[in-house]
Amino acid sequence: MSEEEINNTLARICRVLASIPSGHVVTYGDLAAMAGFPKGARLAGQQLRKLPKDTKLPWHRVINAQGRLSLPEPRASYQRELLQSEGVSFLKGRIDMAKYRWRP
DNA sequence: CCTATGACTGCAA
DNA sequence: TTTGCAGCCATAG
């Protein structure tokens, strides 16, 4: 891996993303911070948007700080299915952050 | 170089 | 609880 790649924003985001365990979620802000961008929540979303539709990375484990999905339909429904399939439940359209938020 | 644009946030009202 | 908005920051034009 070239030095340029490990400093690439997307690569850093992906590395953290890949470490999120199934059944857990993180916020955009968390993802960015863990990748070295303390205030890069929007940046995280911008990078996730670049991922190919068929990526193997767990992009669906990233939700907003309100415990809601920030994706427009119909992607949001797909994301909700993926999360529910790995045990993350929704209550009144929201995810219980205290219960599922992942912190190393 | 400068402005616009978001899969965002936290806080004030 | 909901809404509005300034702050944020790499990217794109």
Q: How far is CA A4 from CA A1, A8, A11, A36, A42, in A?
A: 8, 6, 10, 16, 22
Question: What pairing do the DSSP bridges indicate for beta strands A94-95 and A90-91?
Answer: antiparallel
Q: CB of residue A26 closer than 7 A to nucleic acid strand B?
A: no
Structural domain includes residue A103: no
| Residue matched to tokens 């929007």 | A42
Structural domain includes residue A10: yes
Supply the pLDDT for residue A7: 67
Q: How far apart are CA A36 and CA A22, in angstroms?
A: 22
The pLDDT tens digits of the residues spanning A60-82 come to 999 999 999 999 999 999 999 99
Supply the pLDDT for residue A55: 94
CB A47 within 8 A of CB A32: no
CATH number, domain of A48, equals 1.10.10.10
Q: How far apart are CA A35 and CA A28, in angstroms?
A: 11
The pLDDT tens digits of the residues spanning A27-62 come to 999 999 999 999 999 999 999 999 999 999 999 999
Structural domain includes residue A102: no
Average pLDDT over all residues of chain A: 93
DSSP strands (E only) in A1-104: 26-27, 62-63, 90-91, 94-95
Q: CB of residue A42 closer than 7 A to nucleic acid strand C?
A: yes
Better-scored residue on pLDDT, A3 or A84: A84
Structurally, chain A folds into a number of domains equal to 1
Q: Residue A74 sits in which domain range?
A: 3-95
Residues 39-98 of A with CB under 7 A from strand B: 41-46, 48-49, 51, 59-60, 62, 64-66, 70-71, 79
Q: How far apart are CA A62 and CA A83, in angstroms?
A: 10
Task: List all nucleotides in chain C with at least one atom under 7 A from a protein Cβ.
Answer: 7-11
